Amino acid sequence: MQPFADNRRRLLERLPPGSAALVFSGREQFRNRDVDYPFRAHSDFWYLTGFAEPEALLVLIHHADGERHQHVFVCPRDPKAEIWTGRRLGVEAAPEVLGVDGADAIDDRDEKLGELLRGIESLWVSFSDAGEWFPQLSPLIGRLKRHVRDGVSAPVAVRDLDAVLHEMRLIKQPWELAHMRKAARISVLGHQAAMRRALTAAAEREVETALWCAMAEAGAERPAFNPIVASGANACVLHYTENGAPIDSAGLLLVDAGAEKHFYAGDITTTFPARGRFSPPQRELYEVVLAAQRAAIKTVAPGVGWNVPHETAVRVLTEGLVALGLLQGEVDSLIEQKAYERFYMHKTGHWLGLDVHDVGAYRVEGQWRALEPGMVMTVEPGLYVAPDDDSVPACWRGIGIRIEDDVLVTEAGHEVLTAGLPRTPEEIEAFMHG
C-alpha cells in the first residue's frame, strides 16, 4: 500500500495548513430490481487508498499547527450482510491495512466529522462531483458552525480539490506507468483476438465477446469503458455501444475498447475489414487516417502544445480528403473554415490514466498546455462518411474509420504504449489471414 500512502503524503504537502480533503469511494448504483451495476471505486479514492469498497470516505487533514491526520470511514464488519454482499475490511483492520491514523464506521460519519474538522479553515472536495458534495457539506458546515460559541473556528472556504489532486494524477509515476503498460498490452491482445474472430463472426456481439475473453484471460479486471464494436455504417455513430447488429461482411469493423488493469485504463481503436480484405475506397480512406495518426504521434514531445497533435492530424486529414475529392478547395482555407468537421467531428485525443478520459487541465492560463514527461494521452484521428451523405460519391458512404493508440510523453519524445498491432492495410490483411 506504499504508493497510495505516498500519494496521500504528497497531497497533504500541497494543501495549506488548516485544510481538510474529503474523498468518497462512491456508492452502489441501482440497475433494476435487486440488481446493481458493477461497482468500481472512484479513481481519486483509489489513487489515495488502493481500497475498492463502496461507502468509504477518506479524510486528510493538515491542521493549522502543521499536524497531519489521516482518517477513513468504512462499512463495519457484518457477518450476516457479508454472506450476501461479500467480505468487508471493517473498522478494526482499516488503520493498519490502509496505513491511516484512524477509522470509524461510515454510519458515524456526521458526528465524527464534527470532531475531526474542528478548527479547519478550508474544506477541499472534488468540484467535478459538486452535485454529490454540496448537499452533504451544508449540514456539515452547519454543525461545525454551532461550535463557534465554544471558541472553535468553522470553515470559511470550500475549495476545489481537483485543482490539486488532478494535477498530481496527470503526471504518472513509474509504478503507475508499469500498470498502464500492462493495461495497454492486455488491450492489444484483446484487439488481436477481435480481429481474428471477425473473419467468421456473424454478429458484432461475437467479436465483442472474443475481445473481452482475451482481455480477461490476460488479466484484465474489467473493461475500462463500454466497448464499441461497430460494423459498417454503425462506425459513423461515434459512441455506438449496442454491439447488437449482424456483421456487414463487405464493410469495415471499428473496435474501440480497452482493458482496465490495477484500475488503469487502456484505450485502443482498430478499424479493419470484417472479412480481412480492404476494398479500394476503404483502403484509400484508411491510409489517410493512418497517415494522420502517424504524423500526430510524431509531434508528441515535452514542450509541445496539447493542440499540436490535433492540428497536425487535421492538416493531414484535410489534405487527404482533398486528394480523394471528398473536399474541394485549398487546404489552408478548408482548415480555417473547418470544412473537415463534416467528416472529422471529434478531437484527436484525451488524457489517459485511472479514468479513460483522465483528469487534468488541457489549458493553463488561457493557453493550450505544454506536454510534459509522464503524461499519457491517446492519439485517435478518424474519418466518418455518413451513410446518407449524397453529396459524395456512393463508394465513400457509410465508411467510418478511427485509429487510436496510447502515447506516453517521455524525456526524449514519446513512447507508444499500445505498440504491437497490425496497422497498415498490408499488415492487417496478413495478420487476419495468417
Query: Which region, judged by CB under 5 A, interacts with Mn ion, from 214-222, 247-255, 259-267, 417-425?
Result: 259-267
Query: Which region, judged by CB under 5 A, interacts with Mn ion, from 138-146, 260-268, 296-304, 418-426?
Result: 260-268
Query: Which region, judged by CB under 5 A, interacts with Mn ion, from 123-131, 219-227, 237-245, 264-272?
Result: 264-272
Sequence-ordered list of residues with C-beta below 8 angstroms from that of 6, at least 6 positions apart, any chain: none
Candidates 174, 138, 159; CA nearest to 20 is 159
By beta-carbon proximity to Mn ion, the closer residue of 118 and 350 is 350
* Measured CA distances, 72 to 9, 56, 111, 190 (Å): 15, 7, 14, 37
In the complex, least distance from residue 378 CB atom to Mn ion, rounded to whole angstroms: 4
By beta-carbon proximity to Mn ion, the closer residue of 100 and 300 is 300
Query: Of 286, 384, 414, 423, which one is the catalytic site residue?
Result: 384
Is 179 a residue of the active site? no
3-state DSSP helix/strand/coil % of the chain, to nearest 5 = 40, 20, 40
By beta-carbon proximity to Mn ion, the closer residue of 192 and 378 is 378
How many residues contact Mn ion, by CB under 5 A? Answer: 2
Is 350 a residue of the active site? yes
Residue 271-310 contact track with Mn ion, rule CB under 5 A, x = bound: ----------------------------------------
Query: Of 176, 208, 256, 355, which one is the catalytic site residue?
Result: 256
Sequence-ordered list of residues with C-beta below 8 angstroms from that of 324, at least 6 positions apart, any chain: 284, 285, 288, 396
Is 423 a residue of the active site? no
Query: Which region, judged by CB under 5 A, interacts with Mn ion, from 81-89, 119-127, 162-170, 374-382?
Result: 374-382
Is 384 a residue of the active site? yes
Q: Treating both helix axes as pointing N-terminal to C-terminal, what angle do 280-298 and 308-323 enclose, rounded to 10 degrees?
A: 150
Ramachandran category for residue 398: left, alpha or beta (phi over 0 → left; psi -120 to 50 → alpha): left
378 binds Mn ion (CB under 5 A): yes
260 binds Mn ion (CB under 5 A): no
Is 357 a residue of the active site? yes
By beta-carbon proximity to Mn ion, the closer residue of 68 and 222 is 222
93-112 residues in contact with Mn ion (CB under 5 A) are none
- 391 exposed, middle or buried (CB, 10 Å; 0-12, 13-18, 19+)? exposed
Helix or strand (DSSP H, E) at 372: none
Is 239 a residue of the active site? yes
In the complex, least distance from residue 417 CB atom to Mn ion, rounded to whole angstroms: 13
248 binds Mn ion (CB under 5 A): no
Overall size of the chain counted in residues: 434
Candidates 130, 136, 89; CA nearest to 117 is 136
By beta-carbon proximity to Mn ion, the closer residue of 76 and 349 is 349
Is 404 a residue of the active site? yes
Is 256 a residue of the active site? yes
8 Å CB contact between 344 and 314: yes
8 Å CB contact between 253 and 200: no
Give the span between the Cα atoms of 408 and 410, in whole angstroms.
6
In the complex, least distance from residue 282 CB atom to Mn ion, rounded to whole angstroms: 22
358 binds Mn ion (CB under 5 A): no
Q: Give all strands of the β-sheet with 57-62 in edge-to-edge order.
A: 102-105, 68-74, 57-62, 19-24, 122-125, 157-160
Query: Of 68, 69, 147, 346, which one is the catalytic site residue?
Result: 346
In the complex, least distance from residue 428 CB atom to Mn ion, rounded to whole angstroms: 20
Sequence-ordered list of residues with C-beta below 8 angstroms from that of 330, at least 6 positions apart, any chain: none
What pairing do the DSSP bridges indicate for beta strands 400-402 and 382-384? Answer: antiparallel
Query: Of 44, 53, 355, 380, which one is the catalytic site residue?
Result: 380
Out of 44, 104, 267, 319, which residue is the one contacting Mn ion (CB under 5 A)? Answer: 267
By beta-carbon proximity to Mn ion, the closer residue of 243 and 378 is 378
Is 34 a residue of the active site? yes
Candidates 21, 50, 26; CA nearest to 126 is 21
Query: Which region, judged by CB under 5 A, interacts with Mn ion, from 160-168, 207-215, 265-273, 317-325?
Result: 265-273
Q: List interacting residues with Mn ion (CB under 5 A).
A: 267, 378
Q: What residues are labeled active site? A: 34, 239, 256, 267, 346, 350, 357, 380, 384, 402, 404
